[in-house]
Amino acid sequence: MADTVHSLVARLHDLLVTHVSDGTSDIVPGLHDVVARSSALGPDGAWIAAAAHANLSGTALVQGRADRAISHLEAAVAAGYNDCVALHAGPALPLHHAPRFQALYRRMRITEDDLDELYWLHQEMRIAVRDARDATVDNVGRLDTGVSPLPQAPLPTREPHTQGVLATRVDLAALQSALQRAALKAEFQRSSGITSLDLIDGSWDRPRAALDAWHADALDTRRQRAAEARAFVERPSAGSSLLGPCPPLGSLTYPA
């Protein structure tokens, strides 16, 4: 079957979910495969190759291979990568003093609206991790057998001015998927454990379970509303579609 943008995005998404779910998995060969196959699609697949190169860069950076990390970033930028916000996150900060990195950063271009979305995407990554951690704590000791998925903010559907933004959308989508799978797995294990214990000794406290279910439903509703309220909204601003250089290196603060 011939590769399509959709099939390669799905492949990239699955690789990133695997990486988030199991940090020991080696997804480097898969990312190289995505680069090769998306490059064959021409301009339509350029941003997918850029996304794969950016993730290869991150892997090299974690391994302490700064030169290789910069080489992958150069390839990513050449293919349209422009996530200047990600390049102000902790792991990338040591590269800021490298002339090669400084040169490739100066080549990146973005619009105001796209920069706003990048900030939102990275902020949502932080919120998603925090919410998943909080949900794990909140569900400890629940006696009901209900299962609570993680409410997550919807991904932006606006047409970006630069396709590099699409790469960061995939990063967020993969993180959301990995967190959701982990949460549901833990919830099903908790629920089945309660059922199994009741079958063994009949000790299930049904009144307490009903109260826990009520509290869980109320909390799920509040979380869902909060997630929906976080949806990205473009701010009206003159010149938002004008393409220009990314903010100067070191001038951005990664979302807290």
**pLDDT confidence band for 237 (50 / 70 / 90):** low
What stretch of H or E contains 115?
A: helix 112-139
**pLDDT confidence band for 56 (50 / 70 / 90):** very high
Beta carbons of 66 and 231 less than 8 angstroms apart: no
Residue-wise pLDDT tens digits, 71-87: 999 999 999 999 999 99
- pTM equals 0.93
CA–CA–CA angle 21, 22, 25 (5° rounding)? 135
Beta carbons of 74 and 104 less than 8 angstroms apart: yes
- Residue 22: predicted pLDDT: 86
- Residue 91: predicted pLDDT: 87
**pLDDT confidence band for 194 (50 / 70 / 90):** confident
Closest-CA residue to 27 (of 46, 55, 63, 8): 55
Q: What percent of the chain has a predicted confidence (pLDDT) above 90?
A: 79
Residue-wise pLDDT tens digits, 27-41: 999 999 999 999 999
Q: Is the pLDDT of residue 238 over 70?
A: no
Closest-CA residue to 15 (of 70, 55, 42, 61): 55
Average pLDDT over residues 22-29: 87
Q: What is the mean pLDDT of the chain?
A: 93
Q: Is the pLDDT of residue 58 over 70?
A: yes
Residue-wise pLDDT tens digits, 156-180: 999 999 999 999 999 999 999 999 9
- Residue 239: predicted pLDDT: 60
Residue-wise pLDDT tens digits, 91-106: 899 999 999 999 999 9
**pLDDT confidence band for 219 (50 / 70 / 90):** very high
Average pLDDT over residues 174-188: 95
- Residue 203: predicted pLDDT: 77
